[in-house]
Structure 1
Amino acid sequence: MLNSASWLPDGAVFSNALPWLIALPTLGWRVALVGGWLGLVVLVAEGLHRGGAANPEVVRKVVHIGTGNVILLAWWLQIPAWIGVLAAVVFSAIALLSYYIPIFTSINGVGRKSLGTFFYAVSIGVLIAWFWPVQQPQYAALGVLVMTWGGWVGGTRWATLGATCLSGLGHA
């Protein structure tokens, strides 16, 4: 039976959950697991987009939520800050390039030009760079999760609710 990994801080939130996963022996395995999750999110999004199973805004939210929640996995697996920042730089560059060249049409194919995906990735990198080195990853996770789920609420729920509220106030 595996016991808690010695590299987890005292009182770590995830220290008793799935000990085999926490005890992954090398950083490479942990990064591969996070990368595998992100790859799965992109594959699902591209599949939904190409298959026409969902409208572009829903596909974009799948990417937002799937990539945003990866912060919990990175925290749990103690991914170093430099890897999180490097990933944010790479994804920011891809998002910016995709703004001009349709690399991932599932992400930017919502019928409007928006740098939101670019700034989302930049914000994640800034939060990791700011809070990971000072041993306060919970604040980075909180910030990313607020963006993740707030974006979902704003993009899917407010579109209907906001129009209803505004029309009730005579601002339709």
Structure 2
Amino acid sequence: MLRNLELPENILQNAKKDYVERQLQYWAYRVDAKVPYTCHLFTLTCSNNDALNDYWEDLTENIAINFQTNLEREIERWNIYLLFLLENEVPKEIKYKIEQDKYCCRKLVEDNLKTVDFSEDYISQLIREKIFAIYTTAKEVVSSLPLKDKNIETIIKEADINILTALKGFKSNKQITPFYSKYIRK
């Protein structure tokens, strides 16, 4: 479940910039795994490329020093995302530089958003689509067995072997079927 929460108290403790005016938001996504954990996300709406270029390194450093170091679970320390949202287009060089930076967290630059309404609902939907959604397209499967005589694993394997790899941790067909049905796109 994705939730928009208050910014952690000490996140902006040593900030050189004023991120609150730039619509800095903190989100938490609870991952329902064998041992549940939380993915931490920060979104910053930038008015232009200069603002993006000016803020990204300082904000990354703040997240690393004031937030990441306070997380107790290793899986949570390595599941931090920072999304920069811009309505205009960002030059490929800047986007590449930011997204390829491995320090602290995964960074994504979402540009050309063609909106000025960066509402909670809009950002929430964008996060779900860009980070947590899994989409696949169904391939036409040619097989000698009728569909009703196959188990779900065989059907998935014939359609796309990568899906089966992603679902490796599931224990039974009962777990795989709802997952596959929910995320397949025709």
Same fold (TM over 0.5): no
Which protein has greater RCO, CA pairs closer than 8 Å, 6+ apart? 1
Q: TM bucket by the smaller chain?
A: 0.3 to 0.5
TM superposition score normalised by structure 2:
0.31
The structure with more strand, counted as a fraction of residues: 2
Higher helix share: 1
